[in-house]
Amino acid sequence: MPTCGSAKTLARQVESQGPTRAILPREAQGRSVSFGAMEHNAGVLTSAAGVSTPAATIAARTDGLTKVYGKGDAQVVALGGVSVDIYAHEFTAVMGPSGSGKSTLMHCAAGLDAATSGQVFIGGTELTSLKEKELTALRRDKIGFIFQAFNLIPTLTAQENILLPLSIAGRKPEMEWFDTIIDTVGLRERLGHRPNELSGGQMQRVACARALASRPEIIFADEPTGNLDSRASREILGFLRRSVTEFGQTIVMVTHDPVAASYTDRVLFLADGQVVDEMRSPTAERVLERITGLDSAKGV
């Protein structure tokens, strides 16, 4: 089982505090972290009992995010005004039935797709007002990506793949950090191998190391274990969990898998282009129950 004891403690605290705008993140407990912290801040949240809680750092935020595909009869409202905060130094899962808008939310939040209306913030930077060049620089400097299909360059070795985003950005790798990542994902013996010489799990470990190498402010992972067997999935999820717990990374992960969601601090549930619920300290059982409810409401 994943280790998220502090998140569990928080959930208990939150339950005793009553409702707030969003369930408070781990950082509101005063946990100190030094990795990729953002200056944008949620302000002081006040519980129903009137108790002030320390402000939490917001890594990314959407405000009335709407995405409409197509026109006329073919029009699809993929996101219908989503306002959500993603807290720094947390592992957040995005779940929901097929077609509920998970990938669209992730792509718009990561600046890979343009919103129809509404706003998206990465830290204090509003994405929808950026020019293409500025958006490219922001994606390169502040965001890490992990995809289901790994997306490694076949002609490059594992080490070259991991360092590629840094070399594109003209940045020198911090070798101490590189070593930490390599040892954490257990790739030391495989650095000279090309992707076709690696297993699926090893390729995804390379992709995780690549996402972490630049110490991005936030990592978006789109079904990172979707192509892996259960053992390799557990390894990747364990690694993502450690990246958050030990290195203070912020990760948002789209997943269909309740077990994968149980590694996270918080699950956002989407249905029909809206965030309809969220859960802290998720267990696979509770997530499955909630997802089944959403599926049956949709007639799946």
Ligand X SMILES: Nc1ncnc2c1ncn2[C@@H]1O[C@H](COP(=O)(O)OP(=O)(O)OP(=O)(O)O)[C@@H](O)[C@H]1O
Smallest gap from residue 123 Cβ to ligand X (A): 24
Q: Is 124 in the site for ligand X (CB under 6 A)?
A: no
Q: Tell which one of 96, 123, 195, 282 touches ligand X (CB under 6 A).
A: 96
d(CA 90, CA 33): 11
287 CB neighbour count, 10 Å cutoff:
23
* Closest CB to ligand X among residues 6, 274: 274
Q: Tell which one of 31, 69, 151, 168 touches ligand X (CB under 6 A).
A: 69
Q: Is 223:255 a contact under the CB 8 Å cutoff?
A: yes
Q: Is 102:254 a contact under the CB 8 Å cutoff?
A: yes
Q: Is 111:92 a contact under the CB 8 Å cutoff?
A: no
Smallest gap from residue 143 Cβ to ligand X (A): 18
Q: Is 54 in the site for ligand X (CB under 6 A)?
A: no
Residues 6+ apart with CB under 8 A from 29: 6, 9, 10, 13
Q: Is 258 in the site for ligand X (CB under 6 A)?
A: no
Q: Tell which one of 104, 125, 202, 233 touches ligand X (CB under 6 A).
A: 104
Smallest gap from residue 69 Cβ to ligand X (A): 3
Q: Is 267 in the site for ligand X (CB under 6 A)?
A: no
d(CA 235, CA 241): 10
Question: What residues does 77 pair with on adjacent strands?
Answer: 68
Q: Tell which one of 2, 25, 36, 101 touches ligand X (CB under 6 A).
A: 101
d(CA 55, CA 42): 6
Smallest gap from residue 59 Cβ to ligand X (A): 21
With CB under 6 A as the contact rule, which of the stretches 21-29, 68-76, 180-188, 208-216 interacts with ligand X?
68-76
Q: Tell which one of 80, 81, 99, 200 touches ligand X (CB under 6 A).
A: 99
With CB under 6 A as the contact rule, which of the stretches 81-89, 99-107, 200-208, 234-242 interacts with ligand X?
99-107
Q: Tell which one of 61, 89, 102, 139 touches ligand X (CB under 6 A).
A: 102
Coil, strand, or helix at residue 256? coil
Coil, strand, or helix at residue 107? helix
Q: Is 75 in the site for ligand X (CB under 6 A)?
A: no
Q: Is 5 in the site for ligand X (CB under 6 A)?
A: no
10 CB burial (10 A radius; 0-12, 13-18, 19+)? buried
d(CA 216, CA 37): 10
Residues 6+ apart with CB under 8 A from 164: 153, 156, 210
Q: Is 268 in the site for ligand X (CB under 6 A)?
A: no
Residues 6+ apart with CB under 8 A from 72: none
Smallest gap from residue 184 Cβ to ligand X (A): 29
**Residue type at 269?**
F
By CB under 6 A, the residues from 143 to 202 that bind ligand X are none
Q: Is 119 in the site for ligand X (CB under 6 A)?
A: no
Place of tokens 């190498």: 213
* Closest CB to ligand X among residues 103, 283: 103
* Closest CB to ligand X among residues 160, 272: 272
* Closest CB to ligand X among residues 127, 212: 127
Residues making contact with ligand X (CB under 6 A): 69-70, 76, 78, 96, 98-104
